[in-house]
Structure 1
Amino acid sequence: MYFMEVNYISYFNEFEREYEVIKNASDDVLTIYLDILHFIEKKLKEIYKWLKKYVFLSIQEEIYFFKELKPRMVSKLLFYKELLKLEASLPPSKKNKKKHYEQLLTTIHQYVKANREFYEYYRSRTSFRDEDLFVRRCYKDIIKYDCCLINFDSKLSTSHDFNVATIIANDMLTNHLENKLDELNGKSKSNSTQIDHKFNWTGTKVDMTELVYAFQATGCINNGNFDLKELAIFLGTMLNVEIDSNLYGNYSDIKSRKVSKTRFINTMSDKLIEKMDNEDSKKKNQ
């Protein structure tokens, strides 16, 4: 099986690339939604078959898989299922459409409130509970966790990887609903963000991804307490580059580098030092 022949991180990166192709393959949104759902279903079946045999080399590797990789894929499944439901139930009038979108946003907000503790843990990117939440268990602690876990397959899931997928899907759905409301209110992206693009990003999207993650790791923006994709969208808007659609895939590529994981940041440091040295040298020669 293809999945077994390659590094699984490469498999997820390839999934993101194929997903982008399918997402832009048609002008018919329902066709796109269905194609994406069938595509993800096929990929998840491959992953589940692989998971039943694969032994992770470390707890950290297992946590990364169930906290970062698997939820990213499952979140897209949840998101597009919700979009299909949305299209099927959408009322015809503008007024009722707005009411429908707002009700869905309220539902998401209620879910956030009901799961605030986990939201705060995940959003803060802390890790002190990761081993408890994102490592598979052979037993079911029904007192500690939800009763629905009694029937889930412990080889395929942890207690909270689906919760992460739900958070990501809710973020995507919130963004979608807010854009729809903006359209109904006459605020399209083109006229709601009038930005004079004097500055354009001329590095690679992977280079920008390094910066986004570095801003969070160093805590130099909001003390590191922000959603990575939101910052990616903000920087992309300012610098006329779109990196948020494959942010996590780019980050996986960066983490899998054998030499110099922070290649761009290291180059920035070297170039700045070189610039300062050249300026000092010119002053001495004057």
Structure 2
Amino acid sequence: MSRCEKAIEITIRSKESLRMLIQKYSFKSREEEIYFFKEIKPQFLSKFIYYNAIYNIETKKPYGGYRILKKYYNNELSKIKRYFDFNLDFYRYYRTGSTYLDYKYFVRGQFDIKLALESYFIECDPSFCTSHDFKVAEIISNNMVQDYLIEKINYKINKKNRRTNLPRLFWAESKTSLVELIYALHTHKAFGNVDLKVIAKTFEKNFNIELGDYYHTFMELKNRKICKTKFINSLQDSLIRKIDEQDER
């Protein structure tokens, strides 16, 4: 919590410095303005929202054992899911890399009342706000909070695993290959009805790798022209080759 307090102070100062900088700067084009309010500013805002959320979660958590805390953290996860469900249209727009409404979402003074404006927008500094830059920051922050909560819920399991003497495994293939495998396992329900994000985070922790925005990686897989399941096909080929070698012996 002390780290959160310090981080909140730093993010507030950083956001103010950024605001002062933009007040003195003239964007060279509308594309540059869109890039700033869609990609740059939300990175600053999201850190403030994230640390503030974690601070509130940890200061309000109940006393008790693992079951009580697990229930509490799962309830917080449900709040995040409700947020994404409520903002599903914009969430899809942002996650799929769409740009056709950027001129309304991320250009100052171009807000559209029909695009579900938040009430806080009326109090924003018009020289430093667009209608949806804060919403992007919320999406980024909620993804980080979700990761934090999943880690808290799985802490007991991870703690037990750390007691074993098994060597740490490292993923030696590409991140794209791992994303291909994760989506295949999730689609096949190899782990039951487990959320894709849980599977991805488990692979990241167990194999010491950061997948980044694996949804965009999946979109790249979909756009492959020759072979959309290159890694899975190579796994099949390797296994068949091994079986054939064993049969020859």
TM tier relative to shorter chain? 0.5 to 0.7
State how far apart, in whole Å, the 2-side matches of 1:236 and 1:243 are.
7
1:246-257 → structure 2 map (5 Å cutoff): none
* Aligned residue number for residue 84 of structure 1: 55
State how far apart, in whole Å, the 1-side matches of 2:21 and 2:80 are.
33
Residue 58 (1) aligns with residue 51 (2): no
State how far apart, in whole Å, the 2-side matches of 1:233 and 1:64 are.
29
Alpha-carbon distance, 1:117 to partner: 0.3
Aligned length: 195
* Aligned residue number for residue 267 of structure 1: none
Query: Which of the numbers 96, 106, 111 marks the counterpart of 1:124?
Result: 96
* Aligned residue number for residue 252 of structure 1: none
* Aligned residue number for residue 280 of structure 1: none
Alpha-carbon distance, 1:239 to partner: 6.3
Q: Is the 8 A contact 1:195 1:238 kept in 2?
A: no
Q: CA 1:239 to 1:106, structure 2 compared with 1: closer, same or farther past 3 Å?
A: closer
State how far apart, in whole Å, the 2-side matches of 1:107 and 1:168 are.
15
Task: Specify the code of the residue in structure 1 equivalent to 2:42.
Answer: P
Residue 156 (1) aligns with residue 128 (2): yes
Task: Specify the code of the residue in structure 2 equivalent to 1:119.
Answer: Y
Q: Is the 8 A contact 1:145 1:159 kept in 2?
A: no
Q: Is the 8 A contact 1:200 1:240 kept in 2?
A: no
State how far apart, in whole Å, the 2-side matches of 1:122 and 1:189 are.
36
Query: Which of the numbers 134, 157, 170 marks the counterpart of 1:187?
Result: 157
State how far apart, in whole Å, the 2-side matches of 1:54 and 1:160 are.
21
Q: CA 1:110 to 1:31, structure 2 compared with 1: closer, same or farther past 3 Å?
A: same
TM-score by length of 1: 0.58
* Aligned residue number for residue 27 of structure 1: none
Residue 104 (1) aligns with residue 76 (2): yes
**Identity, % of aligned positions:** 31
Alpha-carbon distance, 1:62 to partner: 1.2
1:205-224 → structure 2 map (5 Å cutoff): none
Residue 49 (1) aligns with residue 20 (2): yes
Unaligned runs of 5+ in 2: 184-196, 214-249
* Aligned residue number for residue 187 of structure 2: none
State how far apart, in whole Å, the 2-side matches of 1:163 and 1:116 are.
12
Alpha-carbon distance, 1:125 to partner: 1.0
Task: Specify the code of the residue in structure 2 equivalent to 1:121.
Answer: Y
TM-score by length of 2: 0.66
Q: Is the 8 A contact 1:200 1:239 kept in 2?
A: no
Unaligned runs of 5+ in 1: 1-29, 202-207, 223-228, 248-286
State how far apart, in whole Å, the 2-side matches of 1:231 and 1:67 are.
28
Task: Specify the code of the residue in structure 1 equivalent to 2:73.
Answer: Y
State how far apart, in whole Å, the 1-side matches of 2:68 and 2:145 are.
18
State how far apart, in whole Å, the 1-side matches of 2:21 and 2:79 are.
35
Alpha-carbon distance, 1:98 to partner: 1.6
1:11-50 → structure 2 map (5 Å cutoff): 30-50=1-21
Q: Is the 8 A contact 1:199 1:239 kept in 2?
A: yes
Q: CA 1:47 to 1:91, structure 2 compared with 1: closer, same or farther past 3 Å?
A: same
* Aligned residue number for residue 69 of structure 1: 40
Q: Is the 8 A contact 1:200 1:241 kept in 2?
A: no
Q: Is the 8 A contact 1:133 1:158 kept in 2?
A: yes
State how far apart, in whole Å, the 2-side matches of 1:51 and 1:155 are.
8
Secondary structure in structure 2 of the residue aligned to 1:188: helix
State how far apart, in whole Å, the 2-side matches of 1:234 and 1:59 are.
41
